[in-house]
Structure 1
C-alpha cells in the first residue's frame, strides 16, 4: 500500500506541466494618458506573441512603482493593478476591485489614480485548482506617527485578494479583499517573490525581515494563501535596504536579492519544503544609491546584478561564486533628456532580460543573450524606445512555466516513509485510525499539514491539543514541523 501511494503521489507531481502558460505575455508600463510640455505620457503595452509587439495603451491610471498584471493561459490580458484598484483589459475597475491596500498611504497616493508607492511589492498568482481564481498578493504600508520614527512610512501588512474571472460567464470580480496574511511592521516590504512548489501546483512566497536575518514564508495551496513560518538564515538585512529587487532562478533552485546596502544575498531553495539553505554573500562595488536590481538567466546559471550605473554577472554554479563576478558594462551617459540610469531587471518570455530606468524615460536596456558568459551576453543600452514615458514601472512576475519536479519532494517522501530505521521525534497513534489522530512529540503547540493522495493540502494549522480529526477515509501524509524541520508520516483513516 505504501509503494502504491508513493507512486501515485509522485505521478501527480510529475504530471503538473505548466510549460505552455502565457500568464506573463503582456507587460503594462507607463502612466496616465497626457502630454505635458511636449513629453508623451501614457500607457505602453509589451506583448510577446511570440515576437515582441510594442503599442501605446490608452489608460487613465498610473502604475508608478507598484504594478501587477496577468494574462490568460493563452496570453490575453485579463487584469492589472496599480496597488490602489484592480482593472480589466478595458481599463475599468472590476466588481469590488476598488480600494485595495486601504489606509492613510492609500488615501495619500491613490488620489487621481496616481498609484501606490510600494516597490516590488505585489504580483498575481493563478490557482492550479480552479482556472477562474487568481490571488493578488500585495504589501500595504503605514505611516509611523511615533515621535522621531526610524522610518516615516513602513510596510505593515501582507494581504491576499482573491479574484474570479470567467470570460464565458462574463464574471470579473473580487470575491475577497485585503485578507491579512501577516501583520508585522518588522518586514522590509520589498522584495516579495514567488516560486512554484515542487508539486507544480502550489506556490511559495517569501519576503525579508527588516531587522534581522529572517524571511517570512507563505504558501498558496488548494485552500489559498497562508503564512507558514519565519526562517532565520545568513547575514542580517540592512534595515534601509527597502527598494531591493529579488528573484528566484527560473528552475526554482536559488533565491537571490540585491540592494547596495546589503550586497548580493544568494541562497539555495528547496521547492519541496520551502526552506532556504547554503547562504552566500557576494560583495559588489559599493555605490551610494537607494535601489538595485537582479535577475537570473533563463538557464538559471547566471545572475545579473545592477547598480544605477554598472551591470555585473555571477556564475552561481561556480565553486567560487564571488570569484566569478564579472563587470559587464557601465552606463553610457545617454540622456533623452533625462539620464537612462539602471533600475530593475526582468526576464522576458523570449528569454531576454529587459531593464528599466530610474528616471521617467522612453527607453529600456536589454541583455540580448543572458545565457552566455561575460560580454557574450550582449548588453545593449537604450535598445528599445517606448511610445510613452515610463516612470519606474516594471513587472514582478514569477516563473509561471515552472513545472513539477520528481526529485526533492518525492525523494524525501521515499526516504522518510519507506525506511524502517528512520529515527523520529514524532509518534502518531492509532494508525490506522477511525479519524482521530493523536500526536506525541517534544513540542507544544505544533504546526501541521495534511495532504491527500492527489497531493492536495486538505488541512493545515497549529495543533495545541495533540489531537487532529480527519473526516474522510483514505491514506494521507501528515507533515509535522518540529525542531526546525518537517517530519512526514503516512496516516490511514478507516471507517
Structure 2
C-alpha cells in the first residue's frame, strides 16, 4: 500500500514411458500472455512480439492479476476487489472481493488441478487489516462461458497478513503452493491447492525477520523462483530488507533465510519494493522506491554463491534516476519487465540471466499507448515461465522441428507430437500428414525433476504459386518503356482454384525479398526497366511462413505520365485560403527523363478536372495558379506532339498551416526557499499559442530542440534559472514537417524581505493638536534593506 503521490496527486506432455523421478512439474506459458494493470494499461505477448492493450477496465494503484488459457486467450483479470471477464465486463458476482487495489500483491490466480473450468483467486488486504488472506472460486462455465464467482467467495485463510502473496507448482507436478506472510509476525503460511480444492490448513514456517510495527513494512513484493527452489521478498519502509529463503516444493516448508538488511533505504517513505528472479533462478532483481526524493533504483544480486556476504558483495546498481521503478515481473519471453510508475511505458531487462551491465536494461522499451502504469504489475504462478516449446515450420509441406527453451539442464526427453507419434530426440523433426491443431507435449528429465511442457501447435496448409502470364501493357504513348502496373490484377492467375480468403498474394522485386517476405511492393507500381521480373509469393493468411513463389515479366511498349505525389505546402502566416503556385515545377515529375522521345516533343498542360484534361480544354496558366482552398486536385496532361497521343495523371496540392502565436511571459514568485526555482504550468500557454487553430504543441529548452522536435519538456516544468527562455514548436497534426516556432520567458521573481524600521518620534507644533505631516519616503531605505528599489516597490 504505497500511499504517497497516488494517481490523484501525481502523474507519476501422452507419454508412452513412465519416468520415475522426485519431482514432476507441468508448464505452459499461455496463461501469462495478457497483462492488465495500472490505469487501464495492458500488454499482450504473441509469438515473440508485444503490443499494448488499451481495452482494459482496471484502475489500480498496485496489486492485480490476469489469467489466460494455454492458447494465450484472455479469461479474466482482477484488482483483488473487482473481477472482469474476457470482454472487460465485471462478472455478475465479481465484485466486493476482500483484496485491495492498494495492496502490493492484491491477488494471484491459481487453476484447480485437473479442471478445465475452475480457478481460485487468492486475495490479500492492505496495511495488515483484518480481512487478511482469502480465496474465491471462479467457474468458467457460468455467465455464458465468461465465468463468474461461485458461492465460495471470500473464504478466510489467514489474518492478519502483509501485502505479499506468491504461487508455484507443487513437487508432485499437479498441485500448487500459495505462500503468504503474517502481519506482526515472522511466520509464513503456505496453502496447498489440489484437485479437491484449497486446503485451508496452512504449512507454517517461522523463519526470517519480523514483519510489523508500522503498516509500511507490509508493503513489497514476494516471489518464488521459476524453478520453485527459492522464495524472496522485499520489505519496504522502516526496517526495509530483502529476504531470500530455500523452499521445499514437496513439503511447503521455507528455510535457510538470508536477510539483506542495512542495505536499502530505511525510513517511512523509502525501501525495497519490487522483486524478481531471472529465468534461470540464479540472479535476483530488486527495485527501491524513495517517495521523498523520487529517485528510483534497480539492483541485481548474484545468488550462485548462496551466502549473505557474497550476495551483498555481488550487488550491481543497474539504474538510478528520476524513473520511479516499482514492480518487476518475468514475462513469457524470459525477459523481465519493469514498471515505471506514472508513465506510459515499461522498461525491460532483455537478458536477465546475464550479469549486469550485459543484462541489457532498456529504459522505456514498451509503450503503453495512451494508458499508464502506476506501481503494480500482475502476479502470476512463477513456475509457468521456466520452460516452453519452440517450433520451426508449422506448414504441412516440409518437416516441423521442435526444441525446448529452458535454462534447466535436459538429461532425457520424451516428445508426443499429438498425432500418436513420439520421439526421444532432444531436437526432433516431424512430418504431419494433415493440417489441424495438435497438442504437443514434452516430458523432460532434469536432475531429480520432471518438467511436463505442453503447447498447442497449429499445422497450416501450404499453397501453390501458379505461373502467371507475363504482364503486358501496350499504350499509344511516349514509348519510354515505363508504365504503371496493377500487380493485384495477377492475383487470380497465381491463386488458381485456391481461395483468396485462405491465401494472400504479395509481390517483390527479387527472389531474396520474396523468400524473406521483405520489401513488399505496392499493388500499383512503375516498372524500373522493360522485361522486369516480378516475384509473386502466395502465403497462408493464418501463417505467412507457409508459402510458395513464382514469377512473371512486366513488359511495356509505350510511355505514360508519371504518378506525382501529393504536394504539401506549409504556411505559418495565418492566410491558408490563397496561395499562388507555379505548376511548371511539376513538369519534371510528370515527364520521364529516360524516354527516347525528346522532352521538346511533349506538351504538359494542367486542368481542374479529368474531363478537361482528356479534352485539353480550360488550360490553367501554370506560372501563377491561385489556390483558393486548402486542397485542390490538379489533372496533368502529357501529350506527345509528334504522335498526337497523351496520358494523364493527377495529384493534390495541399496547404498545411502551423502558426505559433506569441504568448505572454510567465512569472512566479519564489517560495520560502528562495532558490530561484519553481514549477511552471507550460500547458497554460497552449490556448494563446494556438489562437483557435488545432496543432501539436511542445515545449523545448533550445531553438535547436524546437526545430528538430527533440527533447520536449515536461509541461509541469521546473525552471533552471530565474529567467529562462522557453521555445515552442507548433506542429500541424496532418503534416509533421509543417511547423512554426515561437518563444516566451519564464521568470521566478525573488521573495522580498522588508527591513525593520525604528520607531519615529516627532514633536507637536504650536497648535498642539496631535497632528503633523510626515514624509514616509524617508523610511524607504530601511524597508528596502539593501534590496534594489527597481525590483521592488
Q: TM-score, with normalisation over the residues of structure 1?
A: 0.66
Q: Deviations over 1:386-407 (max 9, x none)?
A: 2122222311112253699887
Q: Which moved more, 1:301-310 or 1:162-171?
A: 162-171
- Aligned residue for 2:210, secondary structure, equals coil
- Equivalent runs, 1:406-485 vs 2, <5 Å: none
Q: CA deviation at 1:282?
A: 2.0
- Aligned residue for 1:374, secondary structure, equals coil
Select 2:145's aligned residue among 170, 187, 193: 170
Q: CA deviation at 1:60?
A: 4.3
Number of the residue aligned with 2:210: 236
Q: CA deviation at 1:329?
A: 2.4
Q: CA deviation at 1:30?
A: 3.3
- CA 314–290 in structure 1, closer or farther in 2 if over 3 Å, else same: closer
Looking at structure 2, the residues matched to 132 and 347 of structure 1 have their Cα atoms a distance apart, in angstroms, of 26
Looking at structure 1, the residues matched to 316 and 445 of structure 2 have their Cα atoms a distance apart, in angstroms, of 34
Looking at structure 1, the residues matched to 248 and 446 of structure 2 have their Cα atoms a distance apart, in angstroms, of 12
- Equivalent runs, 1:92-491 vs 2, <5 Å: 92-101=89-98, 116-140=101-125, 154-166=129-141, 170=145, 172-185=147-160, 187-188=161-162, 190-226=163-199, 227-240=201-214, 241-260=217-236, 261-283=239-261, 285-287=263-265, 288=267, 289=270, 292-308=273-289, 309-324=296-311, 325-333=314-322, 340-358=323-341, 360-387=342-369, 388-401=371-384
- CA 199–332 in structure 1, closer or farther in 2 if over 3 Å, else same: same
Q: CA deviation at 1:139?
A: 1.7
Looking at structure 2, the residues matched to 254 and 183 of structure 1 have their Cα atoms a distance apart, in angstroms, of 22
Q: CA deviation at 1:381?
A: 2.2
Looking at structure 2, the residues matched to 13 and 371 of structure 1 have their Cα atoms a distance apart, in angstroms, of 24
Q: CA deviation at 1:331?
A: 2.4
Looking at structure 2, the residues matched to 314 and 25 of structure 1 have their Cα atoms a distance apart, in angstroms, of 27
User: Given that residues 282 and 322 in structure 1 are in contact (C-alpha distance below 8 angstroms), is that contact kept between their aligned partners in structure 2?
Assistant: no
Larger radius of gyration: 2
Looking at structure 1, the residues matched to 67 and 173 of structure 2 have their Cα atoms a distance apart, in angstroms, of 18
Give the 4+ runs in structure 1 shifted more than 6 A. 403-410
Q: What RMSD, in angstroms, separates the aligned Cα atoms of the two structures? A: 2.9
Q: CA deviation at 1:29?
A: 2.7
2:10 matches 1:28: no
Looking at structure 2, the residues matched to 349 and 22 of structure 1 have their Cα atoms a distance apart, in angstroms, of 8
- CA 206–170 in structure 1, closer or farther in 2 if over 3 Å, else same: closer
- CA 56–273 in structure 1, closer or farther in 2 if over 3 Å, else same: closer
Q: Deviations over 1:431-473 (max 9, x none)?
A: xxxxxxxxxxxxxxxxxxxxxxxxxxxxxxxxxxxxxxxxxxx
The unaligned stretches of length 5 or more in structure 1 are 1-6, 32-42, 107-114, 142-150, 334-339, 411-495
Q: CA deviation at 1:237?
A: 2.8
2:84 matches 1:87: yes
Looking at structure 1, the residues matched to 446 and 368 of structure 2 have their Cα atoms a distance apart, in angstroms, of 42
Looking at structure 2, the residues matched to 72 and 49 of structure 1 have their Cα atoms a distance apart, in angstroms, of 13
Q: CA deviation at 1:269?
A: 0.6
- CA 286–99 in structure 1, closer or farther in 2 if over 3 Å, else same: closer
Looking at structure 1, the residues matched to 20 and 255 of structure 2 have their Cα atoms a distance apart, in angstroms, of 24
Q: CA deviation at 1:205?
A: 1.3
- CA 57–400 in structure 1, closer or farther in 2 if over 3 Å, else same: farther
Q: Determine which structure has the larger strand proportion and give its number.
A: 1
User: Given that residues 42 and 53 in structure 2 are in contact (C-alpha distance below 8 angstroms), is that contact kept between their aligned partners in structure 1?
Assistant: yes
User: Given that residues 272 and 409 in structure 1 are in contact (C-alpha distance below 8 angstroms), is that contact kept between their aligned partners in structure 2?
Assistant: no
Looking at structure 2, the residues matched to 166 and 198 of structure 1 have their Cα atoms a distance apart, in angstroms, of 29
User: Given that residues 85 and 146 in structure 2 are in contact (C-alpha distance below 8 angstroms), is that contact kept between their aligned partners in structure 1?
Assistant: no
Looking at structure 2, the residues matched to 234 and 66 of structure 1 have their Cα atoms a distance apart, in angstroms, of 24
User: Given that residues 259 and 308 in structure 2 are in contact (C-alpha distance below 8 angstroms), is that contact kept between their aligned partners in structure 1?
Assistant: no
Select 1:17's aligned residue among 13, 26, 33: 26
User: Given that residues 37 and 60 in structure 2 are in contact (C-alpha distance below 8 angstroms), is that contact kept between their aligned partners in structure 1?
Assistant: yes
Looking at structure 2, the residues matched to 228 and 8 of structure 1 have their Cα atoms a distance apart, in angstroms, of 32
Q: Which has the higher contact order (CA 8 A, sep 6+)?
A: 1
Q: Deviations over 1:253-293 (max 9, x none)?
A: 00011124342211111100101121111236331415511
User: Given that residues 57 and 84 in structure 2 are in contact (C-alpha distance below 8 angstroms), is that contact kept between their aligned partners in structure 1?
Assistant: no
The unaligned stretches of length 5 or more in structure 2 are 1-16, 290-295, 388-443, 451-793
Q: TM-score, with normalisation over the residues of structure 2?
A: 0.42
Looking at structure 2, the residues matched to 376 and 79 of structure 1 have their Cα atoms a distance apart, in angstroms, of 36
Looking at structure 1, the residues matched to 210 and 85 of structure 2 have their Cα atoms a distance apart, in angstroms, of 40
